[in-house]
Structure 1
Amino acid sequence: MTRSVGAPDREAFADRLLRGSIKRSYAPVVDMDWDAPLEDGKYFLPPDVLSLHGTPLWESMSEQQRIELSRQEAANILSVGIWFENILNQALLRHLLHNDPGSLHTRYTLTEMGDECRHMAMFGRTIERMGAKPFQLRWYQAAAVNVLPKTFRGTMLWVAALIGEEIFDATQRRVVDDPQLQPLVSRLMRIHVTEEARHIQFARAGVRRRIAETHRFEKIWVGTAQGLGGLLLERLFTNPVMYRRAGLDPREARRQARANPHFRANQRRGFADLAAFLEDTGMMRRTSRALWRRAGFL
């Protein structure tokens, strides 16, 4: 049974987030030092969060090859971030069609969308500054991405937002101050973590409100379907193109990554807080739990 979860008053909560946005928001065009050179020997993601860390393939790689793998994995994750924030903004725009344009809730939604637009610009420029190339959607992936925003409605909108935000956020918080990290990437993470904290609070409040007032069928549907997010993220985190760009055999690299207990442990660590929230709100059901476990997040 779903446990009682107090949903905050929508307008009062939006007002608090708006005040937080006034106090701590960033404009990456001026808050990032885009002219600073990259530092030799620094990683674009810390070694211990890379998908191949600890595998036989990793042990056979030189330090420069490992750094190059970190560049490609970082570019892949930033590309995924751009795709997701694009989808989220489209879904939020549709959400706003059915809300009072003068409400504080609408005002904060628009503020979050502005944050996401700046994040997409920051991610894209960072990929370029790292000396990498963005990862592009294949035609069938692009077709799916164009459909997804239409399906993110009601409870699904807020649960999908959390899946796209919390797992990345948990990893960023853990590695943002790692001394092996390029200063450019560390600064990006610091900005993103600060602003995503408000976005996560907003989405969690959205879930709590919806489950308090929605029909039982919607809870079952969303609680079951959200497990597909685990399978999707597993595929995106082991994108064979990034291994090929790093000079590795993409099939073998992906095979070793998916069998890598260290990589699986990182997945579970990143999903832990969100998994607890989904369980607490009744949004984790038997099927979705099995899907997240199959993908290595549980």
Structure 2
Amino acid sequence: MSTALHRTSGVATAPAQSETVSTVDAGPDEVSTRLLVSSARLSRNAMTEIDWSAPLDPGKYGCSPEWSSLYGTAYWDELTEAQRVKVTRHEFSSIMNIGIWFEMMLQEMVIRDQYLGDYHTPEFQFALTEIADECRHSIMFAKASAVLAGTSYKPKARIARMGRIFMGTAKNEVAYAGILVAEEILDVFQRGCMRDERVLPLVRTVNEIHVLEESRHMRFAREQVRESMKNAGPLRRRFSAYVTALGASMVVVSLVQRKAFADAGLDSYRAMGEMKANKHFHAMIRSSCVHLMEFLDEVGLLTPAAARIYRKAHML
């Protein structure tokens, strides 16, 4: 697809386009066929759309202030405007780095699921398209983090070990529901920031690209979960629901790392304490999970045991 690019404020932006993927249930191959067409028409390239060397506006945020994990706390009220701008940039970088961590797990799970698949089918071909998208997204997140923070943020060692186990064992509905959980949370966060003119143009473009392309991935994941759950008995359903919830909680509690607060020049211990007790931030997380919880309930993956984990992580 050839598109004229318009470069403003250090960011080249393509004319707005809407995602037209159907949401009618039609089975994995029919859905994948539509997604392949959509991907060919609407895919974006952050390497050419964004001027990564352009200077950053010192007054622009890294995310909408309302999405900061400290917004609404006493600590936030004490910060100067410059400190608020700086901490949101480091928070955004932390969230994008955790996105890279999970997208790397996603790629392995999808490759394992499609190993020795039916190569001629649209389902297999879109799965590879998704992996290619995730590689590009991870590079985009990495470059954004380099520009905004100049460092990497990784989950705690214990959670990283748990993630490795999840990555190596999750399959069928657990793999795709886990993918869906992480992407849904990022999706709502990024939609909330991508049209906010208080946010850096670079960040808005990163969010816009990811939201557009992840809408296809989430559609594919929902169809895979529905298809997989057709053969799930009560025991498997309860087990899958519980493991999915554990994986989801790992992602949510890792979004903003202590190091991000320290790098922003804050008292990281106080900031972590205020974030964990921040009712506004908890409400924002719950709002990002409303449609996700409805879907998990629909397919039988919101059991009482799973719901307890989601409530503890402020997702329900």
TM range (shorter): over 0.9
Q: CA–CA distance in 2 between the matches of 1:10 and 1:204?
A: 10
Per mean C-alpha deviation after superposition, the further-off stretch among 63-72 and 111-120 is: 63-72
Q: 1:114 to 1:234 in 2, by over 3 A?
A: closer
The 3 A distance-change label for structure 1 pair 94 and 142 is same
Deviations 1:105-149 (A, max 9, x none): 110000000000000110111111224311135544443333322
In the alignment, does 2:182 pair up with 1:186? no
Could you say what secondary structure the match of 1:227 adopts? helix
State the Cα distance separating 1:178 from its structure 2 match. 0.5
Whether the 8 Å contact between 1:7 and 1:212 is mirrored in structure 2 is no
Identity fraction in percent: 30
Alignment partner of 2:280 out of 244, 262, 266: 262
Asked whether the equivalents of residues 64 and 192 of structure 2 are also in contact (C-alpha less than 8 Å), the reply is no
Q: Match for residue 174 of structure 2?
A: 156
Task: Tell me if the contact between 1:7 and 1:209 (Cα under 8 Å) persists in the aligned partners.
Answer: no
Instruction: Report the equivalent of 2:95.
Output: 77
**Change in 2 beyond 3 A, CA 1:138/1:191:** same
What's the C-alpha RMSD, in Å, of the aligned pairs? 1.6
2:28 to 7, 10, 30: 10
User: What are the within-5 Å matches in structure 2 for residues 217-296 of structure 1?
Assistant: 217-296=235-314
The answer to whether residue 157 in structure 2 is matched with residue 143 in structure 1 is no
d(CA) in 2 for partners of 1:68, 1:11: 45
Distance 1:120 1:230 in 2: 19
Number of corresponding residues: 293
Does 1 or 2 have the higher relative contact order (CA < 8 Å, sep 6+)?
A: 1
Deviations 1:74-115 (Å, cap 9, x if unpaired)?
110010010010000011111111411221111000000000
- Kept in 2, the 8 Å contact 1:72–1:132? The answer is no
2:126 maps to 1:101: no
In 2 relative to 1, CA 264–141 (structure 1 residues): closer, same or farther, beyond 3 Å? closer
Hey, what does 1:3 align to over in structure 2? none
Cα pair distance change 1:131/1:256, threshold 3 Å: closer
Residue deviations 1:245-272, cap 9 Å, x none? 1222222211111111111111111111
Q: 1: CA distance between counterparts of 2:161 and 2:41?
A: 39
Alpha-carbon distance, 1:7 to partner: 5.2
- C-alpha distance in 2, partners of 1:105/1:34? 34
**CA distance in structure 2 between the partners assigned to 1:169 and 1:76 by the alignment:** 16
Match for residue 30 of structure 1?
A: 48
Q: TM-score, normalised by structure 1?
A: 0.93
Gaps of 5+ in 1: 1-5
Q: 1:36 to 1:269 in 2, by over 3 A?
A: same
Structure 1 residues 16 and 147, CA, compared in 2 at 3 Å: closer, same or farther?
Answer: same
* Aligned match for 2:138, one of 120, 129, 134: 120
Aligned counterpart for 1:166 among listed residues 173, 184, 200? 184
Q: Which amino acid aligns with 2:284?
A: N
- Does the residue aligned with 2:289 lie in a helix, a strand or coil? helix
Contiguous gaps of at least 5 residues in structure 2 = 1-23
Q: CA deviation at 1:36?
A: 2.7
* Counterpart for residue 204 of structure 1: 222
1:68 match: 86
Determine if contact 2:97/2:142 at 8 Å carries over to the other structure.
Answer: yes
Q: Is the 8 A contact 1:224 1:286 kept in 2?
A: no
Matched to 2:236, the amino acid is: E
Distance 1:82 1:238, change over 3 A: closer
Shift of 1:229: 3.4
Contact 2:245 2:309 in 1 (8 A): yes
Bigger Cα displacement from structure 2, 226-235 vs 240-249: 226-235
Which is further off, 184-193 or 23-32? 23-32
2:57 is equivalent to residue 39 of structure 1: yes
Normalised by the size of structure 2, how large is the TM-score? Answer: 0.88
